[in-house]
Every structure is written in structure tokens, then in C-alpha cells.
Amino acid sequence: MSSKDISNVPPWQSVVGISLALISNAFIGASVVFRKRGLLDIAAQGHDVTTGSTAYLRNSFWWAGMILLAIGELSNFGAYAFSPAILVTPLGTLSVVISTILSNYVLQEKLNFLGKTGCALCIIGVIMIVTHAPTAQATDTIPDFAANIINPVFLVYTFIAACLILWLIYYAEPKFGKQTPFVYIAMSSTGGAYLVLSAQGVGSSIVTSARNWNTANQFLQWPMYPLIVFMILTVVFQIHYLNKALAVYSTAIVYPIHYVCFTGMTMVSTAFLFREFPVSSIDAGGSIIEGFIILAIGVVLLYKSQFDLTQQVRASEMS
């Protein structure tokens, strides 16, 4: 049975997907602050995560953050099962706003007017994207998803992405990892984009199986299982390098930049996987691009606000 025969999506499905995405990002945003608090605690004890220390495994704040992250990622997985990535991923702006606001109170990373403006622009941008994004999945079965994976266009894109990751790990990280957050964030975002794609393939296949257990059970398709393993590996990869970024840089700097990079890489990866930009019309596509630009501007303002505050703190310490 083809995906076209089984993909009559009920109206409630996209509502469930969006609801799970909102819940997910609330937990994920809070988890970042708790993990950062844990990393600050172990740094005060003289441990350095970027050099391989695993002292954070004995910190209660870090584990609280990981539990919140696990719940958030589980909800996020459910969101990708019910709705396409281009609809779910931009909702991550909620986690940016929550982590930034909580950082103001829990980590004393103050949020000034420029930062508040950035948060507002992030929300406006995500509204523009969500209201113009499609609500139906591009594929519902493992065979359809696998056919897109082995397409030459996506294989070439994957080869380039793998080369980028290797260059970042073996060249950029040793030289620039502690000078700019973009090195760790680029690694985490690139791996995270593949996490989204694999989660979308596995999740939508589970939903299809539940709705058509006797006629289209995707658990009988062997590619389902290596795809699950790959999804787990990308989770570990993304968390590992996001941890490194959080250990060195402010949460209010890392998370907004990570969000925009992650969202951008997800949109690009999705376009290469399905060989099209998943929109219903040119106008909708234009609105999505405009929304993403507004998001990027919001993140720049957040970054600028935190940079200014950091400079003020350093100036006061020197004086």
C-alpha cells in the first residue's frame, strides 16, 4: 500500500503535532538553564568539560536538565510524527524565549531592552512561518522515506555535510572552539538536522503503522531499525557538542544562535531530502523566508544584548 493511499490526514493530527511541539520546547528551554547551572557548578570546582571531564555526571542540576530534556525530546519526537519538520522546528523559538527569560533569574544573565526586542521578533518570525507552513507529512512509510535517502541529490548533500563536520571536529574546534560559539553550534546544528529527518521518518511511520496495523505495518520494513539506531546516535552527537558550547559561552548567546542555525539546517536538509521546498505556493514560501529572516534578526539582537552586557561586566571588574 502506497503512502498516497494511507495519508488522508485527519484535522486533529496537525493540532496534536503543534501541541506536542509547544510542550516539548517549554521543557527543552528550561533544561538548557538547568544544565548550564550544573556546568557552572563543576567549572567552579575546577573541571573543564571541553577537555573531556565528565564531572557533570555527578551534578544534580545537570541531571535535572537532562530529565527535562528527555521529556522535551520525547514530546518533540511525537510532534515530528504528526507534523512536518518545517512546521514543528520553528516552534523551537519558544525554547529560546523560555531559556533566555529563565537565565535572567536563575543564572543572572540579565536581559535588557535589546534582548526583549529580540525575543519579540523571534515570536513574530515563528508565527509567520507556522501560519504558512504545510500541515501534511511528505512521506508516511519507510519505503518512501528510504527512497528519498538514497537519491543522488541527498547523498551528495550528505557527503558535503559529513566533510563539514569532520573539518569542524579536526581543524576548527582545536583552533577556534573557545574563541567563537559558532564552531560547536555548527556541529550540533548539522547533526541535529539529521536527527530531525530521522525522527520524522521514524515518527510518521509509527503513526502510519498505528492507523494501518494490518495493511501497512512499517515495523515489518527492515530499514526502520537502522534508522532508529541512527536517530539515537544523532541525539548523542547533538547533546555532546551543545554541552561543549554551554560550558564555554553564555546560555543567552548559545541557545538563540543554535536555534537559528538548527532551524536553517533543518529547512535546508529537508529541501534536499525531498528535493523541493515544502510549501503550497510561492507566496507561502516567501512568507516563510521572511519569517526566518525576522527570526535571524531577533537572534542577532539577543546576541548583541548579551555581548554588550558581558563587556559592561568586564569593564566594571577591571575598574
pLDDT in tens, 232-259: 999 889 888 988 888 888 766 777 778 7
Helices within the chain (DSSP H only):
3-6, 11-44, 60-82, 85-88, 93-106, 113-132, 142-149, 152-167, 173-176, 182-211, 224-248, 251-274, 282-318
pLDDT at site 152? 93
Q: What is the end-to-end Cα distance of the chain in Å, rounded? A: 72
Q: What is the DSSP string of 8-35?
A: ---HHHHHHHHHHHHHHHHHHHHHHHHH
Average pLDDT of the residues in 307-314: 68
pLDDT digits (tens, 9 = 90+) for 258-285: 877 887 888 888 888 887 665 666 777 7
Nearest to 95 by CA among 31, 21, 25: 25
Q: Rounded distance, CA 294 to CA 134, Å?
A: 20
Measured torsion, CA atoms of residues 161, 166, 167, 173, in degrees rounded to the nearest 10: 120
pLDDT at site 4? 45
User: Residues 121, 304: contact at Cβ < 8 Å?
Assistant: no
Q: Rounded distance, CA 29 to CA 60, Å?
A: 18
Burial track 191-221 (b if 16+ CB lie within 10 A, e otherwise): bbbbbbbbbbbbbbbbbbbebbeeebebeeb
Tell me what the pLDDT averaged over the chain comes to.
81
Q: Rounded distance, CA 250 to CA 83, Å?
A: 32
pLDDT at site 67? 92
User: Is the model's pTM score more than 0.75?
Assistant: no
Give 4 or 60, the one with higher predicted confidence.
60
Q: Rounded distance, CA 99 to CA 113, Å?
A: 16
pLDDT digits (tens, 9 = 90+) for 66-75: 899 889 888 8
Give 102 or 134, the one with higher predicted confidence.
102
